[in-house]
Amino acid sequence: MYFAINEKLEKISEDYIKRDNKNYVAVLTSKEWRSKKDSFGFGIDIDLDTSEILTTTADVNYDSLTGTFCIPNRENLTQEFKFAFALDEQGIVFIDDSGVVKKIIYSIKNNRKWRFPSLERFIYDFLDYIIKNDFRLMESYERELAMMEHTIIRDEELDPNRVNDMRGDVRDLKNHYEQLLDLGQIFEENENNFFRSENIRYFHLFLNRIERLRDISASVRDYTLQVQDLYKSHLDIKQNHIITMLTVITSIFMPLNLITGWFGMNFTNMFGLKNGYPFVVVICIVIVISCLLFFKKKKWL
């Protein structure tokens, strides 16, 4: 697929790129790239294997800028979308087998119209699309953590594995934002002067958004640790309460066991052997009440 960057993205043929010196966007599969890469004149051989893409990064070459994207799937952060790109001052080519780039391109085509179209503005919108719902995602994490906090305080059932999963998800997103920061900084530096100086501001705007997301993700990750610590403290309190109750029960029954053991020996001349049962019952009741009053005063009950 080939698109011209005009007021809106307009679908064009491959011949348009060779004929007119205008900004363009191309989306190719790995197979198409291997057969057509020489026609773009990037002056570098990109031998792409999507399985080897591990990070979002960019490299500055003599007459091109190349790199890869490794984007976590926001619906399932254990999955990642991987594709590569190459660009110069005329246009950008995406090498993608997943189909995610086509989806982004068509979304931009249907929803964006530019007063001052440029390659820089397209790249900004493309990068912005990658993170467009992330502020809401972070807010949803914060709301869920706040609900977990209230659940712990109300002593209701909580799934601790969910907190661990959230911390892992936010950690992965934070790493992703840091990689996007590096990518945006390479674009902003404009080492090969591919971008017009008046349009560098788009990359600066993108970097500001990514920095805010990175800071928010770090804050949310700290929040998950706080909720986990609160949950552990709550479990410790419950455990201490159980141990206290067991201690109280043991302390009450120890003198009762002593009394029953004493009067259970049945010696012939034992005091109260024949008619001491009411006396023993009264003693036991007095001991139980005394112990309960003592523990109540110590606030163990």
pLDDT, tens digit, for every residue of 143-152?
Answer: 999 998 888 8
Give the domain-ending residue among 113, 146, 161: 113
Q: What is the pLDDT of residue 218?
A: 93
CA atoms within 13 A on the CB side of 267: 6
Residue 219: which residues within 8 A CB-CB, separation 6 or more?
A: none
Classify residue 228: in a domain, yes or no.
Answer: no
| Domain finish residue from 86, 113, 140 | 113
Q: At what angle are helices 134-153 and 201-263 packed, to 10 degrees? A: 20
CA 82 – CA 95 distance, rounded (Å): 9
Residues 6+ away with beta carbon under 8 Å from 82 = 50, 51, 53, 68, 69, 70, 71, 98
Whether residue 27 lies inside any domain: the answer is yes
For residue 192, being part of any structural domain is answered with: no
| Amino acid 301: pLDDT | 65
pLDDT at 46: 63
Element (H, E) at 270: none
Task: Please check whether residue 93 lies inside any domain of the structure.
Answer: yes
Both structure tokens of 146: 């706040």
Nearest-angstrom CA–CA distance, 57 and 42: 18
Please indicate, yes or no, if residue 270 is contained in any of the structural domains. yes
Token couple for 132: 């467009």
Which secondary-structure segment (H or E) carries 24?
A: strand 24-28
Instruction: Please say whether the beta carbons of 176 and 218 come within 8 A.
Output: no
Amino acid 273: pLDDT: 63
Residue finishing a domain among 113, 133, 163 = 113
| CA nearest to 192, candidates 62, 97, 71 | 62
How far is it, in rounded angstroms, from Cα 163 to Cα 193?
Answer: 46
Tokens of 248: 């109280």
Please state the domain count of the chain. Answer: 2
CA gyration radius, the chain: 35
- In eight-state DSSP terms, residue 99 is S
The list of the chain residues with pLDDT below 70 reads 18-20, 41-51, 266-276, 300-301
273 within domain boundaries = yes
- Residue 97 in any domain: the answer is yes
Give me the helix-helix angle, 201-263 and 160-189, nearest 10°.
160
Output the pLDDT for position 135: 92
Question: Strand pairing of 2-5 and 9-12?
Answer: antiparallel
CATH of the domain at 249: 1.20.58.340
Question: How do beta strands 9-12 and 24-28 pair?
Answer: unpaired
Give me the pLDDT at residue 129, please: 92
- For residue 190, is it within any domain? no
Residue 15 belongs to domain spanning: 1-113
